[in-house]
């Protein structure tokens, strides 16, 4: 089938949504589907570009308004979107992220053209403030025109069902994944002199809980063999630098600034423990990447994070300084324990041969039910020594991979393709139910499409060339 991914967020911009769209598209291409990505122009990056494996990306010439989003005009880009959707003979329009105005617009155009629409929500919203109330209303209207919604975690589903008032059976939960082949552990990079490296990798903003981190770091003032490596940039960087100065930890807190996504792995493998202090998070890719690199993850227990990793990989803490501090202490304790247990290797890791042998064994059992220590192991694992990094990588591989995500997404596409497309009266009724004012935009959009049908009829639109597509 032909799928069109629409989001304001795509490469060259970096982030969770971008990664999701890219990896999912690649997997769908591998499965033999045709995928085009629609996004707005990023500076010089404009026009049509082809990426790895023939992924076609339309960088539409639309001005960016705020925070990488286009101005939410709802109807201004109808001709362009229609042209692309018809030219590419799209079957399913798949929008990403509630913040993306382009996705909302394309979903409306898709619904008016009688195409099937799917929407993936990547973030959580509150209900208390004005901006949340406005975004929720917009999402409610968009989702009333969408055949199926996808959320990245169960909390995300609860949140979406509540704020957009969609029927529960129309929302699927399909998590993100991580390419475990890219995020492989390399214990040789860890320091050999008994120092424990704690890695933090996130944008340095309030929502990522950098204020909590700034409270945790000074607690390690008198623990000489603990080092912090902080990756990322943002407005809170000054705060961390100030904390570093004031506590005289210049030699033990390394602030690397922004690092390209491909290089994050090289930093991650240097650490023993990964700390995530987010205040809200729908899925949190960073902790999965870290776990895949074999780090012991310590994270705040907010949003969807408790659902993401099994207890053998993660230590959860309430979002306050004291709790995070004691969770890090537990993690350090675990590392020290394994260091004491295996004196043969400097880093306290099980020798490579054993790990490789185990990997072979595991490969066989992967296809069956993955053996995961359930929540019952939670209490006992507190004192357990930390897992071998390679074992972590294998475990994450069994939990998440893009192929699985793509297959589950294709199931959703198949479902919506079997559904009947919305008729215009159904769309009008659905929009009327949740916000009659939006009908004005819907009507304008509809008549623009009628006009365009006259002016540039569907039959006269040149169909895009498709090179050697495997039959799906």
Interface with another protein, residue 137, by CB under 8 A: no
Closest CA to 156 of 143, 167, 135, 171: 171
Residues 7, 276, 280, 292: which binds another protein (CB under 8 A)? 280
362-391: which residues touch another protein (CB under 8 A)?
A: 369-370, 372, 374-375
Q: Applying CB under 8 A, which of residues 31, 239, 256, 449 lies at the interface with another protein?
A: 239
Q: Could you tell me which stretch among 28-36, 120-128, 223-231, 356-364 binds another protein (CB under 8 A)?
A: 120-128
Shortest Å, Cβ 308 to another protein: 6
**Count of residues that bind another protein according to CB under 8 A:** 61
Q: Does 4 bind another protein (CB under 8 A)?
A: no
Binding part of the chain for another protein, among 68-76, 106-114, 295-303, 347-355 by CB under 8 A, reads 295-303
Residue (of 35, 87, 81, 78) closest to 57 by Cα position: 35
Please tell me whether residue 411 binds another protein under the rule CB under 8 A. Answer: yes
Q: Applying CB under 8 A, does 155 fall inside the site for another protein?
A: yes
Residue whose pair of structure tokens reads 């069109």 in the numeric block: 4
By CB under 8 A, tell whether 169 contacts another protein. Answer: yes
**300 sits near another protein (criterion: CB under 8 A):** yes
206 or 432: whose CB is closer to another protein? Answer: 206
Which H or E element spans position 201? strand 196-201
Q: Taking a C-beta distance cutoff of 8 angstroms, is the pair 18, 114 a contact?
A: no
Cα 18 from Cα 112, distance rounded (Å): 26
Distance CA 42, CA 8 (A): 10
Q: Using CB under 8 A, which of 49, 50, 53, 246 touches another protein? A: 246
β pairing state of 47-51 and 55-60? antiparallel
Residue 157 CB neighbour total at 10 angstroms = 21
- Which residues ranging from 338 to 357 are in contact with another protein (CB under 8 A)? none
303 sits near another protein (criterion: CB under 8 A) = yes
Select from 54-62, 239-247, 291-299, 334-342 the region that touches another protein (CB under 8 A): 239-247
CB of 370 to another protein, least distance (A): 7
Q: Determine, following the binding rule CB under 8 A, whether residue 165 of this chain makes contact with another protein.
A: no
| CB closer to another protein, 245 vs 466 | 245
Q: Which are the contacts of 426, defined by CB distance < 8 A and separation ≥ 6?
A: none
Q: Which stretch binds another protein (CB under 8 A): 3-11, 49-57, 173-181, 332-340?
A: 173-181
Using rule CB under 8 A, residue 401 touches another protein:
no
CA–CA separation, 362 and 357 (whole Å)? 9
Task: Compute the least distance from the CB of residue 220 to another protein, in Å.
Answer: 12
> Under the criterion CB under 8 A, does residue 408 sit at the interface with another protein?
yes
Kindly tell me which of 15 and 370 has the beta carbon lying closer to another protein: 370
Asked whether the beta carbons of 97 and 121 are under 8 A apart, the reply is yes
Looking at the Cβ atoms of 349 and 401, the one nearer to another protein is 401
Q: Are 328 and 296 in contact (CB under 8 A)?
A: no
Which CB sits closer to another protein, 168 or 454?
168
Token representation of residue 110: 């898709």
Give the number of other Cβ atoms within 10 Å of residue 243's Cβ: 18
Does residue 33 sit in helix, strand or coil? coil
Whole-number minimum distance, CB 107 to another protein, in Å? 19
Q: Which is nearer to another protein, 16 or 156 (CB)?
A: 156
Task: Give the closest residue to 299 by CA, choosing from 231, 202, 219, 156.
Answer: 202
Q: Which residue has the tokens 């082949």?
A: 181
Rounded CA-CA distance 376/262 in Å is 36
Residue 316 to residue 54: CA distance in whole angstroms: 41
Closest CA to 415 of 158, 172, 145: 172
> Which whole-number Å values give the CA distances from 6 to 16, 71, 109, 266, 355, in the listed order?
15, 15, 12, 31, 41
Closer to another protein by CB, 57 or 204: give it: 204
For residues 190 and 293, is the Cβ–Cβ distance under 8 A?
no
For another protein, the closer CB: 78 or 305:
305
Binding residues for another protein, rule: CB under 8 A, are 124-128, 148, 153-159, 161-162, 168-175, 206-207, 209, 211-212, 214-215, 218, 239, 242-243, 246-247, 279-280, 282-283, 300, 302-304, 306-308, 310, 319-320, 369-370, 372, 374-375, 398-400, 408, 411-412
């Amino acid at each position: 089938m032909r799928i069109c991914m629409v989001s304001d967020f795509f490469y060259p911009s970096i982030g969770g949504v971008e990664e999701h769209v890219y990896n999912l598209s690649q997997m769908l291409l591998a499965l033999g589907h045709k995928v085009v990505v629609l996004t707005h122009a990023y500076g010089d990056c404009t026009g049509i570009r082809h990426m790895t494996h023939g992924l076609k990306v339309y960088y539409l010439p639309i001005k960016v308004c705020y925070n990488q989003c286009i101005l939410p005009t709802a109807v201004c880009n109808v001709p362009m979107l229609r042209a692309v959707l018809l030219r590419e003979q799209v079957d399913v329009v798949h929008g990403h992220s509630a913040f993306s105005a382009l996705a909302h617009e394309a979903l409306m155009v898709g619904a008016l053209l009688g195409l099937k629409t799917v929407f993936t929500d990547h973030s959580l919203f509150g209900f208390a403030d004005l901006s949340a109330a406005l975004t929720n209303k917009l999402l409610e209207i968009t989702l009333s025109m969408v055949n199926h919604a996808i959320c990245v975690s169960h909390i995300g589903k609860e949140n979406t069902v509540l704020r957009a008032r969609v029927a529960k059976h129309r929302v699927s939960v399909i998590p993100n994944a991580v390419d475990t082949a890219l995020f492989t552990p390399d214990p040789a990079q860890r320091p050999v002199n008994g120092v424990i490296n704690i890695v933090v990798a996130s944008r340095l903003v309030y929502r990522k809980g950098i204020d909590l981190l700034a409270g945790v770091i000074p607690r390690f003032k008198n623990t000489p063999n603990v080092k912090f490596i902080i990756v990322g940039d943002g407005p809170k960087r000054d705060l961390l630098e100030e904390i570093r100065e004031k506590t005289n930890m210049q030699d033990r807190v390394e602030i690397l600034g922004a690092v390209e996504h491909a290089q994050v792995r090289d930093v991650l493998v240097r650490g023993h423990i990964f700390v995530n202090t987010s205040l809200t998070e729908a899925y949190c890719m960073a902790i999965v990447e870290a776990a895949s690199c074999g780090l012991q993850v310590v994270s705040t227990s907010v949003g969807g994070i408790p659902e993401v990793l099994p207890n053998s990989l993660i230590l959860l803490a309430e979002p306050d300084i004291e709790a995070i501090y004691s969770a890090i202490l537990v993690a350090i304790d675990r590392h020290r324990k394994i260091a004491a247990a295996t004196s043969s290797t400097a880093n306290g890791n099980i020798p490579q041969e054993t790990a490789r042998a185990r990997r072979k064994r595991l490969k066989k059992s992967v296809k069956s039910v993955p053996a995961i220590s359930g929540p019952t192991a939670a209490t006992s694992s507190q004192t357990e020594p930390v897992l071998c990094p390679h074992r972590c990588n294998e475990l994450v591989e069994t939990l998440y991979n893009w192929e699985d995500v793509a297959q589950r997404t294709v199931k959703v596409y198949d479902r919506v393709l079997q559904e009947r497309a919305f008729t215009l009266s159904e769309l009008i009724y659905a929009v009327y139910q949740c916000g009659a004012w939006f009908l004005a935009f819907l009507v304008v959009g509809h008549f623009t499409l009628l006009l365009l049908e006259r002016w540039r009829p569907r039959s006269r639109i040149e169909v895009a060339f498709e090179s050697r597509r495997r039959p799906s």
